[in-house]
Amino acid sequence: MPYHSVGGRSPHPVIRLLDPARSRVVLVTPSLRAQQVRSLELPGRRIRVATLMEADYQAWLEVRNRCRDWLVPWEPRSKGSPLPAEDHGSFVARCAMRERERQLGSGFGFGIFYEGRFVGEVTLSSILRGPFQNGSIGYWVDKDLAGLGIVPEAVVVVLRFAFETLRLHRIEVAIIPRNGASRRVAEKLALRNEGVALGFLEINGQWEDHVRYAMTSEEWAVRGAELIAAWID
Ligand X SMILES: CC(C)(COP(=O)(O)OP(=O)(O)OC[C@H]1O[C@@H](n2cnc3c(N)ncnc32)[C@H](O)[C@@H]1OP(=O)(O)O)[C@@H](O)C(=O)NCCC(=O)NCCS
- Contact residues for ligand X (CB under 6 A)? 70-71, 74, 139-141, 146-152, 175, 179-182, 184-185, 188
SS3 of 88-104: HHHHHHHHHHHHHHHHH
List CB contacts of 53: < 8 A, sequence separation 6 or more. Answer: 34, 35, 36, 37, 38, 95
Task: Quote the strand ranges of the chain, DSSP E.
Answer: 3-7, 14-19, 24-27, 41-43, 47-50, 108-114, 117-128, 134-141, 170-175, 192-203, 206-216
Measured from the CB atom, is 19 or 187 closer to ligand X?
187
- Distance from C-alpha of 7 to C-alpha of 28, rounded to nearest angstrom: 11
Measured from the CB atom, is 127 or 176 closer to ligand X?
176
List CB contacts of 68: < 8 A, sequence separation 6 or more. Answer: 83
Provide, rounded to whole angstroms, the least separation between the CB of residue 158 and ligand X: 13
Give, in order, the Cα–Cα distances in Å from 47 to each of 137, 138, 167: 17, 17, 23
Measured from the CB atom, is 56 or 208 closer to ligand X?
208
Measured from the CB atom, is 99 or 121 closer to ligand X?
121
Provide, rounded to whole angstroms, the least separation between the CB of residue 199 and ligand X: 16
Provide, rounded to whole angstroms, the least separation between the CB of residue 222 and ligand X: 22
Provide, rounded to whole angstroms, the least separation between the CB of residue 149 and ligand X: 4
Collapse the DSSP code of 155 into the 3-class scheme (helix H, G, I; strand E, B; otherwise coil) and give the result: helix
Q: Which residue is nearest to ligand X (CB)?
A: 147
For residue 106, the Cα-to-chain-centroid distance in whole angstroms is: 12
Provide, rounded to whole angstroms, the least separation between the CB of residue 103 and ligand X: 26
Measured from the CB atom, is 129 or 143 closer to ligand X?
143
Measured from the CB atom, is 33 or 170 closer to ligand X?
170
Paired residues of 27 in beta bridges: 16
Provide, rounded to whole angstroms, the least separation between the CB of residue 5 and ligand X: 27
Residue pair 4/25 in contact by the 8 Å Cβ criterion: yes
- Distance from C-alpha of 28 to C-alpha of 61, rounded to nearest angstrom: 23
Measured from the CB atom, is 92 or 189 closer to ligand X?
189
Provide, rounded to whole angstroms, the least separation between the CB of residue 181 and ligand X: 3
